[in-house]
């Protein structure tokens, strides 16, 4: 099909995104994208195979920013990932955007790392430099800035205290660190809430 059939292509190119045909062609690289018309992907974004881009996903690299997304990651509707001069690295098997989308933005010289098997949902956001470890979770509309969540098992791990660090609730988490097997639940400022073992919320027996 000719480019003339896609009147939005000029705007896509001016904003640094792939044309509709180029977006649809991501399928040839193993990316599953059921609705190419609703997805916006910058030309320089690095995508491994098995990634799923659901409708209304934006992957935007600006000002020499870099986005790398690993194999089998799910980006659900309303996910927006912007590297505006910074670097965003997302591992394999990550789930982002369920229950309200998610926003990730790295400005100039900032680095955001998200480990394998992490889960980010509920309309939250990451900004500034953050490290979200393997299996870590952000559950709810939480604004995370300069946060570190420890590596661990995923939410499917039968031992709660072996899972990656978790933030759950709503509010602002700034300069917060959660070790492996621990969780902070808050509805306001996460820096003022206690750090508990995950087994506190998931006792056995």
**Considering only CA atoms, which of 75, 67, 141, 163 is closest in space to residue 106?**
67
Residue located via tokens 């045909």: 21
Is 42 within the bounds of a domain? no
Euclidean distance between CA atoms 93 and 87, whole angstroms: 19
Is 56 within the bounds of a domain? no
Is 28 within the bounds of a domain? no
Euclidean distance between CA atoms 185 and 175, whole angstroms: 15
Q: Per the structure, how many domains does the chain have?
A: 1
Is 102 within the bounds of a domain? yes
Condensed to tens digits (0 to 9), the pLDDT of residues 127-138 reads 999 999 999 999
Q: Is the model's pLDDT at 3 over the cut of 90? A: no
Phi, psi values for residue 152, rounded to 5°:
180, -165
**Considering only CA atoms, which of 131, 129, 98 is closest in space to residue 115?**
131
Count of all residues that appear for the chain in the document: 205
Summary mean pLDDT of the chain: 95
CB-based contact 61:45 (threshold 8 Å)? yes
The CATH number of whichever domain residue 69 belongs to comes to: 2.160.10.10
Is 30 within the bounds of a domain? no
CA 31, 47, 177, 99 torsion: positive or negative? negative
Is 22 within the bounds of a domain? no
Structure tokens at 90: 């997302």
Condensed to tens digits (0 to 9), the pLDDT of residues 179-199 reads 999 999 999 999 999 999 999
Q: How confident is the model at residue 5 (pLDDT cuts 50, 70, 90)?
A: low
Is 159 within the bounds of a domain? yes
Could you list the residue range(s) of the whole structural domain that residue 157 is in?
64-205
Q: How confident is the model at residue 205 (pLDDT cuts 50, 70, 90)?
A: low
Is 122 within the bounds of a domain? yes
Q: What is the pTM of this model?
A: 0.95
């Amino acid at each position: 099909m000719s480019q003339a059939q896609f009147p939005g292509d000029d705007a896509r190119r001016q904003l640094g995104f792939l044309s509709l045909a180029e977006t649809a062609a991501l399928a040839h690289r193993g990316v599953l994208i059921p609705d190419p018309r609703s997805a916006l992907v910058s030309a320089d974004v690095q995508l491994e195979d098995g990634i799923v881009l659901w409708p209304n996903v934006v992957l935007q690299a600006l000002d020499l920013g870099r986005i790398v997304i690993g194999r089998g990651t799910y980006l659900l509707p309303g996910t927006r990932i912007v590297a505006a001069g910074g670097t965003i690295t997302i591992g394999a098997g990550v789930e982002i955007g369920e229950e309200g989308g998610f926003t990730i933005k790295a400005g100039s010289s900032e680095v955001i790392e998200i480990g394998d098997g992490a889960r980010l949902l509920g309309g939250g956001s990451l900004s500034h430099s953050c490290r979200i470890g393997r299996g870590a979770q952000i559950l709810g509309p939480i604004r995370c800035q300069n946060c570190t969540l420890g590596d661990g098992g995923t939410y499917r791990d039968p031992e709660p205290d072996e899972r990656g660090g978790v933030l759950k609730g709503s509010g602002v988490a700034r300069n917060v660190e959660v070790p492996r097997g621990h969780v902070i639940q808050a509805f306001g400022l996460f820096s003022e809430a206690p750090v508990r073992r995950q087994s506190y919320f998931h006792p056995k027996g």
